[in-house]
Structure 1
Amino acid sequence: MAARSALAILAALSLAIGGCASQEQPATQPSPGGSATSGTTIKEGLKIAFLPKQVNNPYFDTSDNKGGKPAVEEFKGAYSQTGPSEASPSAQVSYINTLSQQGTDVIVVSANDKDAICGALTEARQAGAKVVTYDSDTNPTCRDLFINQASAEGIAASQIKLISDAVGPDGGEIAILSATANATNQNAWIEMMKTELGKPEYAKLKLVTTVYGDDDDQKSFQEAQGLLASYPNLKGIISPTTVGVAAAARYLSGSEYKGKVQLTGLGTPNQMRAYVKDDTVKSFALWNPADLGYLAAYAGAALASGLITGKEGETFTAGKLGEYTVGKDGTVLLGDPFVFDKGNIDTFDF
């Protein structure tokens, strides 16, 4: 899929958040690039279950309930969300087993660990379920498709540019506040950030450490506090996780470091609005999580309906988002990250 312009992303964001499922399109999806031939429309009555890293997380509430659910309603399936209250690799296994036993047609899962849930997912697939990962992938052998919110390269490039712009031309020490140590997406982005920091334009930035808040608000807050205690010359923090960046912003906004230590990351407008407006954070980035869940639901339905098999080159239509192509290793790319700042943040509500 061709990359969207910033204007197109803005339109998609506003549309998805403001109206969710108001622009239903026929679920007719030819697949000229693949071998699936069992039908041309999505089956009605498919049971689509979303299994996020953790429930009651604002990011996944948006991706699942404001994105996945409207999509499932459009093609007349049965939507559900289930999962652990803490982002633990082992905690997702029992939920996968239960969904498989319930005869779920599609399990849409964001993995807390790329290998820990593979056994359960393999058994679910053998029992007839299609498995779509989103946000954070498993080993490719454990699922049918991965819906990637943005490329690791794109996320890394945006994060390093944002912290560089915020810190200024003199550079200095920076740190990363991540989610869990085993999170597939986080680790991929961090490795790419390290590569990005090797470019000449970022020579004055020095990554001193990476710490982990486990996508827990209080632990992330404490880790942010600990960074400043351990590195008194720290100039910036990157937190590529919605829980971590909001917790770090809360700490900085009430500390002596406000305005002295810069912060960026991946967050939602509703979480970060107050911190952008009080100048704790200059800018941050994210894709539209509602679109991510919406795309994952349609991809899963296309699989379960026999319209695609997950092979590279196959195409399918994801409702109002249009046509997507399956890439290498069964990956479907949503698009590029979008930057939020004081000038545009009030335009969005999620």
Structure 2
Amino acid sequence: MTSTFHRPRLVPRLIATAAAGSLLALGLTGCGGATKTSTDAAASSAAAGSGASADPNAPTKKGLTVAFLPKQVNNPYFTTSDGGGKTALTALGETYKDVGTTSATDTAGQVSYVNTLTQQQVSAIAVSAQDPGALCTALKQAMSSGVKVVTYDSDTNTDCRQLFISQAGAEALGRSEVDLLGKELNYSGQIAILSAAQTATNQNTWIGFMEDELKKPQFANMKLVKIAYGNDDAQTSFQQTQGLLQQYPNLKGIISPTTVGIKAAAQYLDGSQYKGKVLLTGLGTPNDMRAYVQDGTVQAFELWNPAKLGELAAYAAVALASGQISGAQGQTFTAGSLGTFTIGAQGVVTLGQPTVFDKSNIGQFDF
């Protein structure tokens, strides 16, 4: 997940909605004899759903192949989310495919996988984008070739996919993490953010809302001193946590909106003199964070169920490939036991509200 931000970034993030992503359009180069204008037009129409009819009563097609392309393979978060996608596709009798890079910052690798999947003519691609714009040319080519494109966890530019499966409202996530830490700190003290990659769309959107939340009067005595980047790498995130505490000896709290980052930060705090003195919150999985909540290193954190996120992405991809939806606002589709979902503005489908985990409930969850 999954995260920090480079400046200047406040304006793009604050105008972003749960659709998460820059609205800068990237030109599509000619490919396979198609002109830039014709290819862009075809891809834009596919992304907006404006040129495609949809029949909510159409039968679910059989023989579909949906490829999941996470930010990073072998990342526990994406192993869980993509496993949810596999479960859904298996239940539907469709084929699940999983590809990706071992680095959370290898955008060139993601582009290469998209191109390969397009050549293979998979039915749909579900991708968690490492960068909001870097995949656009490849994804537009995929859509113009008939491949349906769903983003999940981290979005692209809105014209580069048909749907974005959002974990929860971006604004709710960003503001709630600040609120959690504020209550723990009695709304006073220096804080830092430990994010993943500087280009991570979801991270930047959430951080934008965090910065905006900190402008409210109740946070007047809380100061954001730095945004650090751990690149969703455990060792780098561990070192960044250590560096933050060395650079800011009066630091009182850290927000890490990435499952890899919050776990690494908790590991460092747990074995240091700062345990119980520097508070930590953010986005993590119960299984990763249980020990740190139980021993008092972390008071509370939040997340959604990543398996359900992947499951919803799979159902959405199949609905698109079956012609039951086109991605237009107001259309609905059923996602198995998850229920019925309505497509919002800019093709955003929201899983639900985040769950706060603390000592009182963390034992009830296993993911």
**TM-score, normalised relative to structure 1:** 0.88
Quick check: 1:242–1:267 contact (8 Å CA) kept in 2?
Answer: yes
Matched, 1:252 2:269: yes
**Which residue number corresponds to residue 274 of structure 1?**
291
1:157 aligned residue: 175
| 1:223-266 deviation line (CA, Å, top 9, x unaligned) | 00000000000000000000000000000000000000000010
Deviation at 1:37, TM superposition (A): 2.5
Q: Distance in 1 between matches of 2:214 and 2:53?
A: 42
1:146 aligns with 2:146: no
Residues 39, 102 of structure 1: alpha-carbon distance in 2 compared, 3 angstrom cutoff: farther
Opposite residue 218 of structure 2, the aligned amino acid is: E
Give the aligned partner of residue 36 of structure 1: 54
Give the match's secondary structure for 2:93. coil
Q: Distance in 1 between matches of 2:270 and 2:256?
A: 15
User: 1: distance between equivalents of 2:118 and 2:365?
Assistant: 37
SS at match of 1:90: helix
What one-letter code is carried by the residue in structure 2 that aligns with 1:133?
T
* 1:45 aligns with one of 59, 63, 70: 63
Output the CA distance in 2 between the equivalents of 1:257 and 1:247: 14
Say whether 1:168 aligns with 2:186: yes
Aligned to 1:192: 209
Deviation of 1:107 after TM superposition, in Å, equals 0.3
Query: Any stretches of 5+ residues in structure 1 without a counterpart?
Result: 1-33
Please say if residues 163 and 347 of structure 2, whose CA atoms lie closer than 8 Å, have aligned partners that are also in contact.
Answer: yes
Q: Which residue of 2 is the match for residue 71 of structure 1?
A: 88
Is the contact made by 1:38 and 1:305 (CA closer than 8 Å) also made in structure 2? Answer: no
- Give the match for residue 148 of structure 2: 130
Aligned to 1:238: 255
Matched residue, 1:205:
222
Instruction: Measure, in 1, the Cα distance between the counterparts of 2:337 and 2:209.
Output: 32
Q: Tell me the SS of whatever aligns to 2:209.
A: helix
Alpha-carbon separation, structure 1, partners of 2:334 and 2:195: 34
Query: Where does residue 196 of structure 2 map in the other structure?
Result: 179
Counterpart residue number, 1:31: none
Count of equivalent residues: 315
Answer yes or no: is the 8 Å Cα contact 2:56–2:325 preserved in 1: no
Write the distance in 2 (CA, Å) between the matches of 1:260 and 1:320: 43
**4+ residue runs of structure 1 moved beyond 2 angstroms?**
37-41
Residue number in structure 2 paired with 1:22: none
Q: What one-letter code is carried by the residue in structure 2 that aligns with 1:43?
A: K
Among candidates 290, 309, 332, match of residue 315 of structure 1: 332
SS in 2 for 1:71: helix
Aligned runs of 1:81-96 on 2, under 5 Å? 81-88=98-105, 89-96=107-114
Deviation at 1:40, TM superposition (A): 2.2
Task: Compare 117-126 and 259-268 and name the one that shifted more.
Answer: 117-126
Instruction: Please state how far the C-alpha of 1:35 moved relative to its aligned partner.
Output: 4.4
The 5-angstrom pairing of residues 95-110 of structure 1 reads 95-110=113-128
Listed as ranges, the gaps of 5+ residues in structure 2 are 1-51
Name the SS of the counterpart of 1:131 in structure 2.
strand
Deviation of 1:101 after TM superposition, in Å, equals: 1.4
Which digits, 9 at most, give the CA deviation of each residue in 1:134-180, with x for residues without a partner? 000000111010001111110012101111122224x1000000000
Q: Please give the per-residue CA displacement for 1:100-124, whole angstroms capped at 9, x wherever unaligned.
A: 1111101000000000111111111
Cα distance in 1 for residues equivalent to 2:349 and 2:131? 20
Determine helix, strand or coil for the equivalent of 2:341.
strand
SS in 2 for 1:237: strand
TM-score (norm 2): 0.84
Shift of 1:90: 2.0
Aligned-partner Cα distance in 2 for 1:252–1:221: 9
Q: Deviations over 1:315-349 (max 9, x none)?
A: 11111011111111111011111000111111111
RMSD: 1.1
Identity of aligned residues (%): 60
